[in-house]
Amino acid sequence: MNGAEDAQKFEAERKLSKHRKTEHHWKPKMKDVSYDHKWSVTTLKGHTADVTGIDFAQDGKKFVSVSTDRSAFLWDCRDFEEKEHKCVSQVLEFDTATKVSFSPDSKSMVFAMKRMNKLSVFKLVRKEGSTAYKFVHVENVDFPVVHTQDILYCGISSTGKYLMSASLDMKIALYDIHGSVLKVLEPKLSALFDVTLSPDGRFIAACGFTPDVFVYEVLFNREGSFQEVKRAFDLKGHNSGVFGVAFNCNASRAVTVSRDGYWRIFDTDIRYSQGQEATIVNKGEWSMLKGANADHIRLAMSPSGGCFAVSCDSNLKLFSSEDDSSDFPMLPNIHGNHNVNVIRFSPCGRFLATCGDRYIRIFRNIPEYQSDIVRLTKNINYVSGDAPRRRIQEQIEEAKKMIQMYCT
């Protein structure tokens, strides 16, 4: 009897010991890092440290991201609505890219390099025997060191004629495609909060501590040689420093956000050479802007100009440029306790991307549909013919369905 009890006790201990061994090898459940919101499309994962720069290629297929982990990722935009996301990653040698901007041909890009504090050009080259790309440094294009502080903004004009970098040292440097300096601007703004290239390549806008935004025109002659950079016009109307400025795709509209708590939409399709000034066509208020820290604000405008996105700290707010009465819900803490570093709209305008922590958020641009409704409702009154009017009415109904689907 004692022998049987001992055998049972031994068997029970053996099973318990086996269970403990198995338990020791159990894998912990992966943390869900997705953002729970109707507008959320996906979260791009792969970087191991904060993502500091992102950009869409104009071909609508590619998306690039850079991080303090020294890696650069190339993503396929066509996979954003799928469960799996194709990408290639590469650790950059000797330095860390902090900002990135695609070239107009979508085949190369410019990085702002942290250690050297200058621009570097990389091109996308297919790997041998593969359809995947790799980042290759273009060594015959060498940029000088212009800035005394870290580069915070960089870009390439859509014409491909010049590149731009800007820093808190109050300098905005323009370069030709070979890396030579064309011009260094030092706008009298007391502090530089934001610098942007207009998507059509015509303008450079700078804003800061003063309530006016300075817009410069970059001029080339008929042969394509650089001539000069001249002050074209100002964006006026705010009562305090301007945190950010952005243009739509053809620079006919601009948006600004200010410490006074207001945003303003400007008509910039003007004859500025004849003295015509940009006029305010819409404005609104967001209380989080009032008295905010300039380092914590980011701004972007959709290609059509129908929508713009503003972030304060880690909170994202989208607005309809055409309807200041529409109040879309704020998306809170999209990057946890990290500030949003960059906001970018896709070339088609359907999506926008943000980065801040080590994840990249992709959202649907829903407020754009509200702007479509306002614009089309105005246009239908000037259209004659049943077929065109019917088509416009169908577009209005489609936009209303999207608003209802994602806002109720």
Average pLDDT of the chain is 93
Residue 21: pLDDT band (50, 70, 90) is very low
Q: Which of 113, 138, 133, 117 is nearest to 53 (CA)?
A: 113
d(CA 168, CA 294): 12
pLDDT digits 0-9 by tens, 81-108: 998 898 999 999 889 999 999 999 999 9
Residue 351: pLDDT band (50, 70, 90) is very high
**∠ at Cα 290 (285, 292), nearest 5°?**
130
Tell me, what's the pLDDT at 165?
98
Residue 136: pLDDT band (50, 70, 90) is very high
pLDDT digits 0-9 by tens, 221-263: 999 999 999 999 999 999 999 999 999 999 999 999 999 999 9
Tell me, what's the pLDDT at 16?
57
Strands 181-185, 172-175: parallel, antiparallel or unpaired by DSSP?
antiparallel
Tell me, what's the pLDDT at 129?
80
pLDDT digits 0-9 by tens, 36-59: 999 999 999 999 999 999 999 999
User: What counts of helices (H) and strands (E) characterise the chain?
Assistant: 3, 27
Q: Which of 99, 102, 194 is nearest to 150 (CA)?
A: 99
The mean pLDDT of 206-234, rounded to a whole number, is 96
* Contact of 50 with 358, CB cutoff 8 Å: yes
pLDDT at 273 over 90: yes
* Alpha carbon 257 to its chain's center: 16
Tell me, what's the pLDDT at 357?
96
Q: Strand 133-137's sheet: what is its strand order?
A: 97-102, 108-113, 118-126, 133-137
The mean pLDDT of 125-141, rounded to a whole number, is 90
d(CA 288, CA 297): 10
* Contact of 82 with 43, CB cutoff 8 Å: no
Sign for the CA dihedral angle at 180, 182, 188, 193 comes to: negative
Tell me, what's the pLDDT at 23?
46
Tell me, what's the pLDDT at 9?
61
DSSP state of 31: P
Q: Report the share of the chain in percent with pLDDT over 90.
A: 86
pLDDT digits 0-9 by tens, 281-332: 999 999 999 989 999 999 999 999 999 999 999 999 999 999 999 999 999 9
Tell me, what's the pLDDT at 26?
46
Q: Which residues of 127-151 are buried (b: 16+ CB within 10 A; e: fewer)?
A: eeeeeebbbeeeeebebeebbeeeb
**Cα dihedral angle (396, 35, 354, 405), rounded to 10 degrees?**
0
The mean pLDDT of 381-385, rounded to a whole number, is 88
Residue 384: pLDDT band (50, 70, 90) is confident
Tell me, what's the pLDDT at 28?
46
Q: Which of 196, 213, 216, 186 is nearest to 155 (CA)?
A: 196
